[in-house]
Structure 1
Amino acid sequence: MPALRPATRADLPAVLALLSDEERVVDPASVVVTAAYEDAFASIDEDPRNEVLVLEDPEADAPGPVVGCLQVTYIPGLGKGGVERALVEAVRVRADRRGSGLGRLLMELAVARARARGCALVQLTSDKRRTEAHRFYASLGFARSHDGFKLAL
């Protein structure tokens, strides 16, 4: 059974490898883990409203190598009756494993985790140019309900 679990510090090179290049497989041993990455991971790890989740390879002996990841931020809110929502970001599946159902599994497990936590909503944003990703999210039941805006600082 594939495991979706909170990332540990030991997973950081594998997560950074997934985030560094969406088009090719990057060897985690080649990733330089800078102090900035260490600090960011420590901040996420210490915050009960944030987590980086990793998906282990279901075809490997446990524990398998990391083949997917995402970050979830749990946001309390006064809207919608005071419910908590889950914001999903940085969704990645290793390039050589795309199309195998791992992305669907990753997202379904993350949604189940948010539901179990009591979240009433899962939200995400995706770059407008990623039309395949948009079809993927729609196939999971996500609806295009809002336009997003960002301001680079």
Structure 2
Amino acid sequence: MIAVRPPAPGDAAQMRRLLDQLGYQVTEADLQARLAAATPEDLVLVAADGESLLGVIALHRATILHIGPVARIMTLVVDATARSGGVGRKLVEAGADWARAAGCTALELTSGKQRLRAHAFYEGIGFTASGLRLHRAL
């Protein structure tokens, strides 16, 4: 049975392993520090099957002046062995529930151009392409 819950103190190593599957290299110490720095505008959830983490989602609530409050999915990763099994959908729906309760008018995300399978997943659960993300390092 898959449970969606906030991360427990001992989950950082498994969360790091999941992030690494998408090429997001972060140390366990940095991940723990980022989790500790989360504010009420942030939500992090994991999908767990017993002691094994199958996925993680992180969202941030932001006010967009011309839209109002929105929740942005900052991170979504599902273990390669659990993809297409409903884990991602469960995580997104839990995030959407939080966003609604926080007064958000929309759920949004960005996704790398190369992640075609992820794009199909997002479109399959109701997301539509609506813009272009640009990036500038600081």
- Compute the TM-score of the two structures, normalised by the length of structure 1: 0.79
Change (3 A) 1:72 1:19: same
1:48 aligns with 2:40: yes
Identical pairs, percent: 32
In structure 2, what is the Cα distance between the partners aligned to 1:43 and 1:106?
A: 21
What is the distance in 2 between the residues matched to 1:22 and 1:39? 20
Q: Which moved more, 1:100-109 or 1:131-140?
A: 100-109
Q: What residue number does 1:28 align with?
A: none
Q: How many residues align?
A: 136
Structure 1 consecutive aligned stretches of length 4 or more whose deviation exceeds 3 Å: none
Q: Which has the higher strand share?
A: 2
What secondary structure does 1:96 align onto? helix
The separation in 2 between residues aligned to 1:43 and 1:32, in whole angstroms, is 15
Aligned to 2:117: 132
In structure 2, what residue type is equivalent to 1:125? T
Give ranges in structure 2 of 5+ residues lacking alignment: none
Alignment of 1:1-153 (within 5 A): 2-22=2-22, 33-34=28-29, 36-44=30-38, 47-57=39-49, 60=50, 64-80=51-67, 83-153=68-138
Unaligned runs of 5+ in 1: 24-30
Q: Which has the larger radius of gyration?
A: 1
Whole-angstrom distance in 2 between the partners of 1:109 and 1:48? 16
- Output one character per residue of 1:31-67: Cα deviation in whole Å (capped at 9) or x when no partner: 9623x333222112xx11112211122xx4xxx4221
TM-score (norm 2): 0.86
